[in-house]
A and B are shown apart, each in its own frame.
Chain A
């Protein structure tokens, strides 16, 4: 179930879990990852493409942030914010689905 606020915006937090909708479109154009929903397409940066590859419907934003922090040698807080921003934008255009982790309190 998509997590939305009262205004209909998708809210993403450290405990959110992203998964790919069935009809998402993905292309790897000579190393550049382009993803899209029914209408909108996004060219992902290298780090965003790395985040994209970690989406498995199980890992939380925090889980992925830990991987990003290690891969790109940045602090986890910054990594978490980058992922939250990315997922919020992609979710707003139905390129990812957002749910809250079952293991969250």
Chain B
């Protein structure tokens, strides 16, 4: 069951948390995906014409102009709403970075996508509109024609590569404990690449990885095989290197088969 969005705009207006001019209001997160629990907060996004001036001291950096996001936080019927304000220009800049032209360019701006920009790209496909939904529909159409999916895949594969390289070096040095952790992290990123390739995004929210794999149950890595590795079922403390090699072999298969 997902969150009832019908009263979101009215609630923001009542609390004077909407500017006079805005393009859209939408929400994302576990509640919207139907995975929420009693303590889950609602992640509300407001796309404004002009930068919002926040009444709280929370802010985050983005590699955009302006280079910060503004936030508000309220409680509605005992549930916390985290409200994130993006200007329409900031959203346009993120979409421009995710274009196929930028992705095909060796020096493309997609490489400068910051944490919160990637979060936006991962959230948009599952967001629920608090208005007519026309804005979200248009943006999703643009994402479908962009390098959105490829960028999210490559970001995860790059992370997986980095950790497998670490694991190899750590094993060479005899640091098996660290290599186990590096291998496990590499596996997590490789699985994120796999799920992204199949249209389930959310690398920044590893706590929902199993949910995504349950939905997909990919032929390349069926859910039960994934879960066995995730829970380190075959790990033998007497022979950790075997688990490392098996786990990284799965990462290599994913890298071979997932098309960017």
Residues on A lying within 8 angstroms of B by beta carbon are: 20-31, 33, 38, 52-53
How far apart are the CA atoms of A52 and B256 in the complex, in Å?
A: 9
Q: Evaluate whether A53 and B256 lie within 8 angstroms (CB atoms) in the complex, with A20-B249, A25-B161, A27-B157 already known.
A: yes
Q: How far is the CB of B197 from chain A (nearest CB, A)?
A: 10
A31 B259 Cβ-Cβ under 8 A: yes
What residues on A are CB-neighbors of B167 within 8 Å? 22-23
User: Taking the complex as formed, is B91 at the interface, i.e. its CB lies under 8 A from any CB of chain A?
Assistant: no
Give a binary string over B32-56; 1 marks a CB under 8 Å from any A CB, 0 the rest: 0000000000000000000000000
User: Taking the complex as formed, is B245 at the interface, i.e. its CB lies under 8 A from any CB of chain A?
Assistant: yes
The one of A23, A30, A52 in contact with B260, judged by C-beta atoms closer than 8 angstroms, is A30
* Extra pairs beyond A23-B168, A25-B255 (15, CB < 8 Å): A20-B249, A22-B164, A22-B167, A22-B171, A22-B248, A23-B165, A23-B169, A25-B161, A27-B260, A28-B255, A29-B259, A30-B259, A38-B165, A52-B256, A53-B256
Which secondary structure characterizes the binding site on chain B?
helix
What residues on B are CB-neighbors of A23 within 8 Å? 164-165, 167-169
Number of A-B contacts (CB under 8 A): 39
How far apart are the CA atoms of A24 and B245 in the complex, in Å?
A: 12
How far apart are the CA atoms of A25 and B256 in the complex, in Å?
A: 9
What residues on B are CB-neighbors of A22 within 8 Å? 164, 167-168, 171, 244-245, 248
User: Taking the complex as formed, is B57 at the interface, i.e. its CB lies under 8 A from any CB of chain A?
Assistant: no
How far apart are the CA atoms of A70 and B244 in the complex, in Å?
A: 34
Q: 22 A-B pairs, CB-CB below 8 angstroms? A: A20-B249, A20-B252, A22-B167, A22-B168, A22-B171, A23-B164, A23-B165, A23-B168, A23-B169, A24-B252, A25-B161, A25-B255, A26-B252, A27-B157, A27-B255, A27-B260, A28-B256, A28-B257, A28-B259, A28-B260, A29-B259, A53-B256
User: Taking the complex as formed, is B229 at the interface, i.e. its CB lies under 8 A from any CB of chain A?
Assistant: no
User: Taking the complex as formed, is B204 at the interface, i.e. its CB lies under 8 A from any CB of chain A?
Assistant: no
How far apart are the CA atoms of A13 and B246 in the complex, in Å?
A: 26
A26 B255 Cβ-Cβ under 8 A: yes
How far apart are the CA atoms of A22 and B167 in the complex, in Å?
A: 8
What residues on A are CB-neighbors of B252 within 8 Å? 20, 24, 26
What residues on B are CB-neighbors of A21 within 8 Å? 168
How far apart are the CA atoms of A7 and B252 in the complex, in Å?
A: 31
* Complex: chain A residue closest to B169, CB-CB: A23
Among A21, A27, A31, find the residue whose CB has the most chain B CB atoms closer than 10 A.
Answer: A27
B248 A29 Cβ-Cβ under 8 A: no
